[in-house]
Structures are given as structure tokens and as C-alpha cells.
Structure 1
Amino acid sequence: MRTVKLTHPDRVMWPDVGLTKRDLYDYFGAVAPLMLPHVKDRPVSLQRFRGAVGDGGFFQKEIPKGAPSWVQTAEVPKRGGVVHHVLANDRETLQWLAQQGCVTPHVFTSRADRLDRPDRLVIDLDPSEDDFAAVRRAALACGAALCDRGLEPFAMVTGSRGIHVVVPLKRTRDVLDVQAWARAFAADLAAEHPDELTTEFRKNKRDDRLYLDVARNGPAQTVVPPYAPRPRPGAPVATPLRWEELEDDTLRPDGWTLRTVLDRLSDLGGDPWSGIAKAARALPKH
């Protein structure tokens, strides 16, 4: 029988809203049916906290010592060896992550059986200034350009400051091809909107333009998955959207939290991204 012993359940992790380690554990248990399709079989990097999120945490790739034997792992090559990443493939493993103080499980854009063949392409829209209306406009422009190329975009507020535009892919191209395609796409989109968008990595060269970040598409890179909590005030959660919600002036990047996102899903009747895998297309030639 799989059991997860929760220690220090009353440890306060988000002091501003009084949420504890028990609340994180219970949340992962409740959201598991909707979160698991987005994280299953994807190597996880753990963002862990031994106290309150404001006190700082650390990233861990290798599975923590003392993990239960039933926690599945994937071997990911690295220079000089391998890393044994956790696979969050069931409810108990998600709750075991909470026991480890893992607030945000960051996941690969590929699955463990074919690490070199991503099935997600991610464009991270992160503002230089506090201008979320510009982020929404950029997401809509990005989605239109992706549709023009025969791909289907999905949008997610990150629980931080921005939006991820995510494209489901058939696994026909290797990671370096996907990375190159994403870079070329971002360059083309920035050229079409030179006053609003940029691919300039250096912040002092961006002016007020929004950065099209495609770095998460490189080898062994990770992204924040749907329904992952964030270590920020209020306990916001990365939340998938219906595409038309990008038109809503009241939309916020951190508008749903550990306490409220399940009510949203209940009101919607399920996960807005439930059909994302069926929308996968082969990445076209650039």
C-alpha cells in the first residue's frame, strides 16, 4: 500500500495567507486528476522550500534520498553521468512532493521515453514593465501567427507575471530542431511587431518591448506545468485558460490561487486544456 507520511503539517509556507504544508499536500491530492495528464512521464526538477516561501528555496534534479520505492524515476544523461529525475505519475507522488516541500514541480517539454523529441513548444511572455495588457496582446498575436502556420496554441497564466503560449507537437522533430524553429518564429513575430515585441536577451536593450522567451525549448530545460503552485505572495497557481479569456481586461497572471483554482475548474466543468494532446500537430518547416 502506498502511503505518504506528512511531517510538520502545520509549517506555514505562505504566511501572508496562512497556508501550510498540509494545505499544499491536500491541494496536490485534490488537483491530481487534472494535473497528472500534464506532468505524467515528464522528468521533474523540484523547487523545494524548508520553510516559508519568502525565506528562499532551492532546486533539486536528483531524486531526494529516502524516497519510497514506488516513486518512479527517469534517467537523464548529463556530462559525466546521469540524473535520476522524479516522474510525478500518480496522486501519491504529487503528495510526496509536498512532503519534500516541493512547491513547484518544473517539468520537461518531452516525455521520458523519448527525451530528444519534445511534444510541447513553449513561448514565455514575460513583461519588462508591469503591463499585463501588453502580455495579453502579445499572446493573441503569437496565437494568430501559430495558427497561420497550422498549429494550435493554448494559453496559461503562469501565477507569476506572464503568460505561456504552449503548442502541442507530434514527436517528429528533435529538440534542437524545435529550439531552432522557436527562435526563428520569435524573430519573425518580433519583426512583425517591432514596437511591442523583441527577442533581445539583454534587458537594457529591450526598452518597453515585451521579450519573447523561447529558451525553455532547449535540451533538458523545464517549464512550470498547469496547476503548479508558485512560491509568491498569495499562493498563486499556474492556470490554463480558454483562449478567449485572453480578451478579458480583468485577467491577471496570478488571479487564481491554491484556495480558488479548484472552484474555477468546477465552474468551468473541467480542465480547459483537456484536449491538448489531441491537438498535436507536426512542426512545419520554417
Structure 2
Amino acid sequence: MPAAVKGSITIEGQEVSVTNPDKPLWPEQGITKRIYLEKLAALSPYLLRYLNKRLLTVIRYPHGVSGKSFYQKNAPDPLPPYIRTFMHDSINYITLDGLPGLLWLGNSAALEFHPSLHYAGSSLPCEWMIDIDPSREVEPRIMEAAAIVGDVLKSLGLASVPKTSGATGVQIIVPIRSGVTFDELRKVGHFVGKYVTEKHSGLFTLERLKKQRGDKIYFDYLQHYRGKTLAAPYTPRARPLATVSTPLTWDEVANNVSPEDFHLLNIEERLRSKGDLIAQLPPQPVELVIAGLK
């Protein structure tokens, strides 16, 4: 990323303002805003793949991860000329299409990126995601749970990619072809969720209310729907260690890898060695599973 000159940088012919570059954003990791913008630029070829043309919600931390935060759905005013928006359900969402917009949001201390699961103007999902959500802040069984779900999907003929949420959970991603609907995927999700909760009743639950789950891991197939969001692959998270939502191999899951192993200070090296594991998996035949459930 070019060095800041007079409070701005020029990216792809666009001038992006940079304010308070030495402000600590992740103090424990020594990550300032300047370092964050450099890391965002390095992540952009991967992160933007899952943000472009989607309705974007960000979480902003003006004073870093130790300060107060707020969700930003509506685009602020005024906007630079390279930021585009899309009106959906009376909310004027930002829809990114390039690095200048990503860095502009980074400069505003947007530390987390949560896109819609469909493109702006579309009612169809871009991929299928199952959210494996622990009820405890520390859950040593989370990779065990992810492996079980992965095995069930495999038994249905569906390959998948697990990814850390960057916080405490894991999402299982299945690439799909355009044309599959959210409702169809919900039916498959309910089928898989009911199976794993019956077979592993001490581990999984379909109970949405956290206070009623006990220590069980929530198999969330409902969050994957039009207008809802999940943490994007490769989004940073506002956690003390600056963790990044990172796709995994199933061997890493079997070895009980920790979500804290992947963060802003080492994610570039991982991407150089493994690339985008999600993009490497072709669309899966979910249509056959859907047809089998009818």
C-alpha cells in the first residue's frame, strides 16, 4: 500500500483520507491504524471476494477494540465518490466494489465486515453457510462439532470448507450454483441439524435462545437467510488478539486447531501458502439433496 501523503493515499486512482494513523486499534498486538490499513490491503484480494456487491454491515471501534463500538448499516453522509450504496428495507447499505472503499472503511475504524448472504438486488444465496455457535466463551469441543457436521455433509455427497468465525464459532461453507433458494437450503439445514442433535444430543442443540442451551453448541441453520449476515471469510475481528475469520482444512479441524492461531500478524503468510480454500472448492450438488428431501 502506498505511504500516506498529506493525510491521504492514492489507490486505483482514488484519493483515500487517512486520519490518526498512529492510533492503537489492537493495543495488545501493537496494531495501529496504519498497520491495520496495510493488513487490509494485503487481505483485500481475498476479503473483497466475499464483500463485493453485497449489503454490508460493519462494526466500528473509533477508539480501538477496548473502546465502545457500534453497528453501521446505513451509509454515513457525505460519502466519497467511489462508495456505492443500495437501498434495501429502508436501509441505505454500502456495497463495496474495490480497495479504495475497503480502506476508507478501515480508516473509519470499521474492524469487522459482515456482508449479506446474497448480492444486492438478489433474493438468492451466494453460498450455503451453517453456523456452529458455542454457548460458552471457551468451548474445547468446537472443532469436534465442526468435524461431525462436515462428515454428515460428506455422507450426503457435499464437500465443504470450515472456517473460524474469528471469535468462538465455526461456519461450514458449501459452494453452490445460482438458482438454489434460501428456503431450500433451510430445509436441508434443518434435516442435518435434526440428525446431529439426535445422534449427538449431549453436544448439539437447535435451541435458538442462548439462555436455554446450557453448554450445548447451537447448530444454526436459520441465520443463513435473505437480509441476515455472518462474518465474512477473512474479516478481522475485534478480539484482543486481532483474530481473522479463516478457512481451514479438515485435517486442521481434526487436529483441534484454535481460532486464535490465525490473526492479522500472520494471515498473509498463511494465504501465500494455502490461498483461498473456499474458492478452490467447486459448487456442490445440493440440488440432489434438496430433491431427495421432497
- Report the TM-score, using the length of structure 1 for normalisation: 0.90
Which amino acid in 2 is paired with 1:157? T
| 1:13-162 matches, cutoff 5 A | 13-76=25-88, 78=89, 82-114=90-122, 116-129=123-136, 132-162=139-169
Aligned counterpart for 1:253 among listed residues 237, 252, 259? 259
Query: 2:109 is aligned with what amino acid?
Result: G
Work out the CA distance in 1 between the residues paired with 2:156 and 2:178: 17
Shift of 1:155: 0.5
| 3-state DSSP of counterpart to 1:109 | strand
Give, in angstroms, the shift of residue 224 of structure 1: 0.6
Superposed CA offset, 1:131-174 (max 9, x none): 54411111111111112223221110111112111122223233
- Give the counterpart letter for 1:212 in structure 2: F
| 1:281 correspondence with 2:281 | no
Distance 1:211 1:13 in 2: 31
- Contact map agreement 1:50 1:101 (CA 8 A) in 2: yes
Q: Give the deviation of 1:130 after TM superposition.
A: 5.4
- Does the C-alpha gap of structure 1 residues 61 and 147 become closer, same or farther in structure 2, counting only changes over 3 Å? same
AA matched with 2:72: Q
Separation (CA, whole Å) in 2 of partners of 1:29 and 1:59: 22
Size of the alignment, in residue pairs? 278
SS of match in other structure, 1:69: coil
SS of the equivalent of 2:136 reads: coil
Q: 8 Å contact 1:176–1:219 — kept in the other structure?
A: no
Distance 1:204 1:224, change over 3 A: closer
Following TM superposition, by how much is the alpha carbon of 1:84 offset from its aligned partner in structure 2, in angstroms?
2.2
Aligned equivalents of 1:282 and 1:69: distance in 2? Answer: 40
Task: Report the AA paired with residue 84 of structure 1.
Answer: N
**Could you tell me how far 1:58 is from its partner in structure 2?**
0.6
Distance in 2 between residues matched to 1:239 and 1:102, nearest whole Å: 18
TM-score, normalised with respect to structure 2:
0.87
- Residue 175 of structure 1 deviates from its aligned partner by 2.6
Rounded to whole Å, the distance in 1 between the matches of 2:184 and 2:66 is 38
Flag structure 1 segments of 5+ consecutive residues without an equivalent.
none
Q: 1:131 to 1:21 in 2, by over 3 A?
A: closer
CA distance in 2, matches of 1:38, 1:99: 20
What RMSD in Å do the two structures reach over aligned CA positions? Answer: 1.9
Contact 2:115 2:229 in 1 (8 A): yes
- 1:12 paired residue number: 24
Looking at structure 2, the residues matched to 93 and 202 of structure 1 have their Cα atoms a distance apart, in angstroms, of 36
**Residue identity in the other structure for 1:281:** P
Contact 1:157 1:254 (C-alpha < 8 Å) held by counterparts = no
Q: 1:234 aligned to 223, 241, 244, which one? A: 241
Residues 121, 182 of structure 1: 8 Å contact kept:
no
| Unaligned segments of structure 2, at least 5 residues | 1-12
- Supply the distance in 1 between the matched residues of 2:115 and 2:36 (Cα, whole angstroms): 18
Instruction: Report the CA distance between 1:68 and its aligned residue.
Output: 1.3
